[in-house]
Amino acid sequence: MVKLRELTTEEPLAPGHRLCAGCPESIATRMALKAIRGPTVITQATGCLEVATTIYPYTSWKIPWVHIAFENAAAVASGIEAAFKALEKKGIAKKVDVISIAGDGGTFDIGIQALSGALERGHDFVYICIDNEAYMNTGIQRSGATPKGAWTTTSPAGSVIPGKPEWKKDLIAICAAHGIEYAATACISYWNDYITKVGKAIEIDGPAVINVLSPCPRGWRFDSSKTIEMGRLAVQTRYFPIYEVEKGKYKLNINVPKPKPAEEFLKAQGRFRHLFKPEFKKEIEIIQEGVNENWNRLLRLCGETS
Amino acid sequence: MKKVIGLTGDEAVAYAAKQCDVDVVAAYPITPQTIMVEKFSEYVADGEVETEFVCVESEHSAMSACVGASLTGARVLTATASQGLALMHEIMYIASSLRCPIVMGVANRALSAPINIHGDHSDMMGSRDCGWIQVYVENSQEAYDSVIQAFKIAEDPEVLLPITVNLDGFIISHCMEGVEVLEDDAVRRFLPKRKVDLKIDPEKPLTIGPYCLPDFYFEFKRQQEEAMKAVLNKVKKVGKEFGRLAGRTYDVLHAYGIEDAEAAVICLGSTAGTARVIAEKMRKEGKKVGVMKVWLYRPFPAEEFKKVTKHLKAIAVLDRACSFGAPVGPLCSDVRAVLYESENRPKIFNVIYGLGGRDITPTDIEGIFNQALKTAETGIVKEPVTFVGVRE
């Protein structure tokens, strides 16, 4: 674990950007940048963080930062990593660390092919997915990371269909299946766990993936003062387990021996409000069962018992 | 001493790339470009090049990786065709706008559906407006020569634009010809290491690819167009310099028999060779015909074109692509626009041919010349657009 007093006071992401009040993306980014060890290049997918930190002719970035498009942060990282390798061999440049940052839309959905390719090829880079469980930049549309039952503008809470019918995709299992050395979940509400993981990921000579849960006040419909609280609730209800897969071995990083009911997490957010109507109440039970099953599955993978 | 080796068009691209000391190649295989990546992979496996070869999972990622590598200051090459080019389309605009001097070999091939692996220009014409310099070659020798010149043109600080070297799928890509190659050292002298001012550099951090609103976006595009304008003179200069080195001088246009001709065929790529053979034969018969090959298609050399064609009475423009619903094909559209303001402008008609690799025969071309001569004589364009070699 890292020590707070030993963390750098450098802030490569300067204030003054135009992210919303209470936005977890700047928190997730600033925390990640506390773990960098030297010259670092960011490749960024299209999304809130990109549009709000680089409005021309201003920028919040004090380190090299590249945005090409939505679905290719990992492919761009591949090219940069390869170029530095080639130029270092020829004595023209020195190798740098490469970190890709993308949202869940840019990772779980449109960018998963580029990510898969980069992981399979073994490029030395860290991929951070800032997971706020929907396409927030375009105004809250469902993604493969949106949880079952959540309202979004493309999975509306109708009179017949109560929000998104499907479960969230298991990104970490997909990434780990590539045989990469390190993949982990994290949450901005557990800063030490998250920063430690980013540091670990950077040290690895090869690709590493971190999916960091980042509660979005706008999209999840909660007060912007409660971002960190909401992340904590996600973990303490076992809704979002914090674990890592190192060389294929699963390890639970934050145990939750006495979980709060999932309902507490759901009722704190407007995106699940419709589930509390009498006709949809059963959905809450189904979600709770899903949470339990997922937790038990993870415990089995971690070699622990419930 | 001259060194001549047998190379297909694809192999010629790979061979030239090997001599150009490319830092990064990111590419994905697609017929009929495949030999380019296969051949280059062999150079990498045999340690003949100091190149990082990124064997990506799609053309979209190929172009994305190329942009990343180019922004780092590396010399970068890729290659594709058809559907692959279409998949790259999104990132091709970004490559040119971020001023990445990437060189791309394109083995031109038809677009689906129905799926067809053979040669036509629909692929490149679909990405015609993406801000890339575009040259079309006539044979393997030109493919080789063009790749070497392409890096020099693209990487010029006044240009900094990506460039496609287009070769007709199968007709050039897979056709073995004797290619006169330069010594490695000669290529290195002609093409020194890339010099880069603005790049990904932790010492001088840049924000590249920012969000840009209506208050600034337009200026970026205007600058891009200015860069395109700088290309013409640069191409001419590099073409002459290459001529001094290799004995083969290049210019934006290649005219044959145009000076004293009344009617001419204008075309891109390998068809120019066939057209020249027919023109030679017809000129011996006393017919006043000529051929103009457009080597540099983007930026279109408008002034040169006007100068060379101003005395012609009739022009047949050959398009190996169909611009559905447009008045004429893409090349013809340019020719018409360029000549519109000319006094005594020639009569112009358009021939769409060779889609999906359909052969264009010497007889077809002779027919087109005769049609052009008749148009020159009568001053009447009977049909502005005709389709040659198709069942109707």
Q: pLDDT tens digits for A260-290? A: 999 999 999 999 999 999 999 999 999 999 9
- Could you tell me if residue A306 is inside a domain? no
Tell me if A127 sits within 8 A of A210, measured CB to CB.
Answer: yes
Decide if pLDDT at B171 tops 70: yes
> How would DSSP label each residue in B228-284?
HHHHHHHHHHHHHHHHHHHS----SEEEES-TT-SEEEEE-TTHHHHHHHHHHHHHH
CATH number at B295 reads 3.40.50.920
Decide if pLDDT at B142 tops 80: yes
CATH number at A239 reads 3.40.50.970
- Could you tell me if residue A23 is inside a domain? yes
- Could you tell me if residue A96 is inside a domain? yes
**Residue percentage of chain A with pLDDT more than 70:** 99
Least confident of A106-110, A300-304, B126-130: A300-304
Q: Does B69 share its domain with B189? A: yes
**Closest residue to B208, CB basis, from A40, A65, A71:** A65
Q: Does B242 share its domain with B266? A: no
Task: Count the domains in chain B.
Answer: 2
- Could you tell me if residue A155 is inside a domain? yes
Q: Does B204 share its domain with B282? A: no
CA dihedral in degrees (B152, B153, B159, B164; nearest 10)?
-120
Q: Does B235 share its domain with B275? A: no
Chain B residues touching residue A55 (CB < 8 angstroms): 210-213
The closest of B106, B117, B142, B124 to B7, measured between CA atoms, is: B142
pLDDT in tens, B243-274: 999 999 999 999 999 999 999 999 999 999 99
- The pLDDT of A215-243, averaged and rounded, is 98
**Domain that includes residue B375, residue range:** 254-388
Q: Tell whether B120 is within 8 A of chain A (Cβ).
A: no
How high is the pLDDT of residue B2? Answer: 87
pLDDT range class, residue A37, cuts 50, 70, 90: very high
Place of tokens 């051929």: B291
Q: Does B239 share its domain with B275? A: no
Decide if pLDDT at A306 tops 80: no
Q: Tell whether B25 is within 8 A of chain A (Cβ).
A: no
**Closest residue to A50, CB basis, from B24, B72, B211:** B211
Q: Does B239 share its domain with B261? A: no
pLDDT in tens, A48-98: 999 999 999 999 999 999 999 999 999 999 999 999 999 999 999 999 999
Chain A residues touching residue B73 (CB < 8 angstroms): 83, 87, 92-93
Which of B246, B280, B309 terminates a domain? The answer is B246
Chain B residues touching residue A40 (CB < 8 angstroms): 202
How high is the pLDDT of residue B46? Answer: 98
pLDDT in tens, B103-115: 999 999 999 999 9
- Could you tell me if residue A19 is inside a domain? yes
Decide if pLDDT at A4 tops 70: yes
Which of B200, B219, B246 terminates a domain? The answer is B246
CATH number at B62 reads 3.40.50.970
Q: What is the ipTM of this complex?
A: 0.97
Q: Map residue B184 onto helix, strand or coil.
A: helix
Decide if pLDDT at B97 tops 60: yes
Chain A residues touching residue B64 (CB < 8 angstroms): 68-69, 72, 75-76, 78-79, 114
pLDDT in tens, A109-137: 999 999 999 999 999 999 999 999 999 99
How high is the pLDDT of residue A214? Answer: 98
- The pLDDT of B56-84, averaged and rounded, is 98
Best mutation target among B57, B77, B102, B188 (most A Cβ atoms within 10 Å) is: B57
How high is the pLDDT of residue A304? Answer: 81
Q: Does B57 share its domain with B158? A: yes
Tell me if B142 sits within 8 A of B254, measured CB to CB.
Answer: no
Q: How far apart are the first and last CA of chain B?
A: 53
Position A87, amino acid:
L
Q: Does B242 share its domain with B291? A: no
Best mutation target among B51, B96, B207, B216 (most A Cβ atoms within 10 Å) is: B207
**Residue percentage of chain B with pLDDT more than 90:** 99
Chain A residues touching residue B52 (CB < 8 angstroms): 82-83, 85-86
Q: Does B197 share its domain with B261? A: no
**Domain that includes residue A188, residue range:** 4-301
CA distance A157 to A164: 8
Distance from CA of A125 to the nearest CA of B (A): 14
Do residue A83 and residue B68 have CB atoms under 8 angstroms apart? yes
- The pLDDT of A145-165, averaged and rounded, is 97
Residues A47, A50, A52: CA angle, nearest 5 degrees: 100
Chain B residues touching residue A72 (CB < 8 angstroms): 60-61, 64, 91
| Sequence-distant (≥ 6) Cβ neighbours of residue B58 within 8 angstroms | A113, A114, A117, B28, B87
Task: Count the domains in chain A.
Answer: 1
Tell me if B60 sits within 8 A of A72, measured CB to CB.
Answer: yes
Q: Does B270 share its domain with B204? A: no
Q: Does B233 share its domain with B121? A: yes
The answer to whether the pTM exceeds 0.90 is yes
- The pLDDT of A244-253, averaged and rounded, is 98
Q: What are φ and ψ of residue A135, in 5° steps?
A: -80, 90
- The pLDDT of B81-109, averaged and rounded, is 98
The closest of B135, B119, B134, B22 to B78, measured between CA atoms, is: B22
Tell me if A163 sits within 8 A of A155, measured CB to CB.
Answer: yes
How high is the pLDDT of residue A18? Answer: 97
Per-residue tokens: A11: 């802030």
CA distance B70 to B76: 6
Give the residue on A whose Cα is nearest the Cα of B93. A68
Q: Does B342 share its domain with B379? A: yes
Task: Please count the other Cβ atoms lying within 10 Å of the Cβ belonging to residue A127.
Answer: 28
